[in-house]
Amino acid sequence: MTVLYEDNHIIIINKTVSEIVQGDKTGDKPLSEIVKEYLKEKYNKPGNVFCGVTHRLDRPVSGIVIFAKTSKALSRLNEMFKNKQIDKTYWAIVKNMPKEPEGTLRNYLVRNEKQNKSYAYDVEKPNSKLAILHYKLIARSDRYNLLEVGLETGRHHQIRVQLSKMGCPIKGDLKYGFDRSNPDGGISLHARKVSFLHPVSKELIEVTAPLPKDTLWQALEKTIS
């Protein structure tokens, strides 16, 4: 487990593609429990340790996850996420080059619970939710393109389905149109940066998560001007 930032109220982790943030039907140990064990051991705490989940990342996605170490921080962070006061930036490796080097995508997403999948439409549909993201092409290789993505909304599988709808499925994402899986079972989507005012101290917190130890990620990073 890689700790990117920690103080008395929050702890920020760089999640790998194999980890789940919260417990699910797989029964695998979630990252929230791993963080609890880390805190219990580090501070030699007796009894239960508090670790509040403030947001989630899909299992095949890597990068920044923020946990609360106190109930005060948890309630405030929940409110901050709700009010869009936490700025998150993602990097995605996609197969095709977008028609425009940067732009804004607006779609209406419909979630299918049984399939655990979302569908993107250009017009509003019954039970749909508006999804807005901004993207920018920041690096290229012979076969792949690296996009920087910022979200205005936080919908189910939003980045994955909207980039796929644009014709740029994320590398390794079989569910949304990529033709083969990644060797590690993840997809090439990384929660790269986060910026927000600390929920208690009000100081500016800015954290960047190192990229996965993968030759393509490293190669693309080197080409960024």
Q: Which of 7, 28, 58, 179 is catalytic?
A: 58
Helical spans, DSSP H, in the chain: 31-42, 71-82, 158-165, 215-222
Tokens in use for 163?
A: 């980039």
In whole angstroms, what is the distance from residue 93 CA to residue 217 CA?
A: 8
Q: What are the percentages of helix, strand and coil residues in the chain, rounded to 5?
A: 20, 35, 45
58 classed as catalytic: yes
Of 174, 112, 107, the closest CA to residue 135 belongs to 107
Helix (H, G, I), strand (E, B) or coil at 76: helix
Q: For residues 133 and 216, is the Cβ–Cβ distance under 8 A?
A: no
Half-sphere exposure of 170 (CA within 13 A, CB side): 25
Four-residue CA torsion sign, 36, 40, 46, 52: negative
State CA 44 to chain mean position distance: 31
Known catalytic residues are 58
